[in-house]
Structure 1
């Protein structure tokens, strides 16, 4: 067993470290973190705007006025979430190189807007919000990467205007960025002109047809989702933050799928996707954190006799209720513990499969696309994420039961070992 574990560690740990240290994935992850508070703000007001039975309490006309009053909260955040990600990625890319990060954000945004057709229903000078949402996120990500790299390249080549020593710092930095930004934006303008002569007509159409559409179809399927879930578990087992590593790759796909469901929900149309960002947050992370360890906490309260494990349950319980499970991961421990490898890997995979097919057959409704904060306790998050449907909470409860059953014999085995160790030390 140890030989196998050593071989697996030697293969996976270097891969995970390279992914975790990759500057593009790091900027992508940190860029999304910039957008996250705004996304959650918008999602909260989407929930408030769709409170159940409120129309029956205050009347249909008052309810519609209430929704219209709260509408700008989501329109100014969720509807243009790609915009915030572009700014964050551009900022972080240049910051990593020690440059003026704010100009990285500015040049990324401006480059994206240069590529974006500013026409809506034959009205020019208007940027469609769909281009600024998750729908335009793939182009935004690539644009932010390339624009920030070009900007920093021109800066490193000293293609800058040097101002005299007495000029204020803000003015000097502004002129210093002038040539790099001008050259970068010119390159993107040329790209737009070239693509306009192709059958795609716009860079958006080009990216969507060649890259985004195939990846979105792949990411919305069960096999890719299972691979993502399994990789998260494997990386965590070796002490690496699996969510940060894997989400850096999958988040753009899952957010785009999430946005499609949100748009359909707001229009009263059938929700197109089972797998979304919120699917992962609600049914995997939302059950006690990575590995869905809230069921483990319940087992520590109900079935163990070891003093150490009971104390661990008391310590991990409050945090686990809000999907923070580091006390369990490091206290049980889960990291590098071969005794828990099987349930740690199997439980999330089984739950993902069960939830996927339960959604596919209509037992539980598809998620509406509202981003419920990942720290929202289970049952509440399931209810809110499914559009205030009790079956979302029921599905979470079933999943907790599945995880509990899978973990039960292994918890008993751990309990037996800890109990024997405690008796020997008395």
Structure 2
């Protein structure tokens, strides 16, 4: 049965995965995020440390503020401006694919993005809002990196370059060779910026953000919109994009507003008006091991894992997974570009979203009370706190984890079997 299912998955998904892997733009996109990964993980670690649950209750307010201020630059210099690193990575990798000088592809992509980025903050010119350098500017950054790298390649292939004499050092010759292609590429983006300054959007950044955010906002805050958001998060992550950051940049204004309505009603002792809020997502989906509720995968690894690879992954991923940091699982299992786990990766969060929504809409479980629970709060505890200290919230999280374990069971068993057999073959050759 397992062999037949394995063959079915391979025949259906592997050809698609091969085509995606061979697509130069998706490869550059994936590799661009891999360039930023060490910085992202560094920032994530210090976010967990800086937001350790209930630390603010254990020490004075002044001490807690000083503690967070001391650790804040770690995430501010990495996670908050991760778009910059991704842009450089995409431009570098795409130019490298074409056999060009990759470093110039990276820097021209970054410079093009900065040209299109608003440089005014609250009336002060020459200041770039850091939010735009992160998730908010991610879409524009990706498009800009692709276009800038392609334009740079086009001008280089046209041989519109300055050629230096043979005796000139290589680094100097390459710098002059890139001068004209970079100048022409950045001029195109400067013209685009000037054109948009005469439109109602004022900047390309506002245009991109508006055309993406407004249609999604119009979907509303009901179950269909939430399922779409959850699916998009999962799909983005499958292709190596940080789906949570991308989708949150669009949906957070909606979810936080709904959250605030619930908090006001909760404090006034009134009926909670909304089911889907920021804490609905953070506590009952992301708050169970990270995106995709991967704490259930860790539990399953300890239950059925036979291969050394999965056993070691479980040991490495468990401590971080308890606090909803799941990069070890995302990239170690791996989940990115792994067609064998695509089905549970997409299905499990949708099923849990539907279960949670109907459990709350029918009154079995209170909706989120609007209390902002730190996203690093461990599962079960976060469900209890998010629902206003209701035990039903904790029970619902435990039930949802069980559901995810059941959905993942056959797929992880197949993956573990493959790893185990590969390890045995390696040992027999030795």
Q: What is the TM-score with the length of structure 2 in the denominator?
A: 0.67
In the alignment, structure 1 segments of 5+ residues that lack a partner are: 233-241, 301-310, 373-378, 413-426
CA 1:119–1:346: 2 relative to 1, 3 Å: closer
Contact 1:312 1:327 in 2 (8 A): no
Q: Does 1:117 align with 2:118?
A: yes
CA 1:316–1:105: 2 relative to 1, 3 Å: closer
Residues 226-256 of structure 1 deviation map (CA, whole Å, 9 limit, x = unaligned):
6558x97xxxxxxxxx9643x4495663363
Deviation at 1:74, TM superposition (A): 2.1
Give the Cα separation in 2 of the matches to 1:314 and 1:109.
41
Contact 1:118 1:127 in 2 (8 A): yes
Deviation at 1:133, TM superposition (A): 1.6
Residues 167-214 of structure 1 deviation map (CA, whole Å, 9 limit, x = unaligned):
111111111110010000000010011111111111111111223543
Q: Residue 162 of structure 1 aligns with which residue? A: 163
Give the Cα separation in 2 of the matches to 1:203 and 1:97.
27
Which one of the candidate residues 309, 312, 325 is aligned to 2:306?
312
Give the Cα separation in 1 of the matches to 2:147 and 2:116.
13
CA 1:260–1:91: 2 relative to 1, 3 Å: farther
Residues 360-415 of structure 1 deviation map (CA, whole Å, 9 limit, x = unaligned):
96359898796x7xxxxxx8478799999999987654333224556789999xxx
CA 1:275–1:214: 2 relative to 1, 3 Å: farther
CA 1:80–1:26: 2 relative to 1, 3 Å: same
In the alignment, structure 2 segments of 5+ residues that lack a partner are: 264-276, 318-327, 414-430
Q: Which moved more, 1:186-195 or 1:91-100?
A: 91-100
Q: Residue 193 of structure 1 aligns with which residue? A: 194
Deviation at 1:354, TM superposition (A): 3.1
Contact 1:160 1:177 in 2 (8 A): yes
Q: Residue 422 of structure 1 aligns with which residue? A: none
Deviation at 1:120, TM superposition (A): 1.3
3-state SS, counterpart of residue 159 of structure 1: coil
Give the Cα separation in 1 of the matches to 2:399 and 2:213.
34
3-state SS, counterpart of residue 134 of structure 1: coil
Superposition pairs of residues 7-406 of structure 1, within 5 angstroms: 12-214=13-215, 221-225=225-229, 227=231, 244-245=238-239, 247-248=240-241, 250=243, 253-254=246-247, 256=249, 272=278, 274-275=280-281, 279=286, 282=289, 285-287=292-294, 292-297=296-301, 299-300=303-304, 312=306, 316-321=310-315, 322=317, 324=329, 347=348, 349-355=350-356, 362=367, 380=378, 397-404=398-405
Q: Which moved more, 1:197-206 or 1:32-41?
A: 32-41
Deviation at 1:33, TM superposition (A): 1.9
3-state SS, counterpart of residue 164 of structure 2: coil
Give the Cα separation in 2 of the matches to 1:46 and 1:162.
48
Cα RMSD over matched residues? Answer: 4.9
Residues 79-120 of structure 1 deviation map (CA, whole Å, 9 limit, x = unaligned):
212222211111111111111111111101111111122111
Give the Cα separation in 2 of the matches to 1:326 and 1:112.
28
Contact 2:51 2:374 in 1 (8 A): no
CA 1:53–1:68: 2 relative to 1, 3 Å: same
CA 1:64–1:141: 2 relative to 1, 3 Å: same
Give the Cα separation in 1 of the matches to 2:30 and 2:131.
22
Give the Cα separation in 2 of the matches to 1:325 and 1:401.
20
3-state SS, counterpart of residue 118 of structure 2: coil
3-state SS, counterpart of residue 92 of structure 2: helix
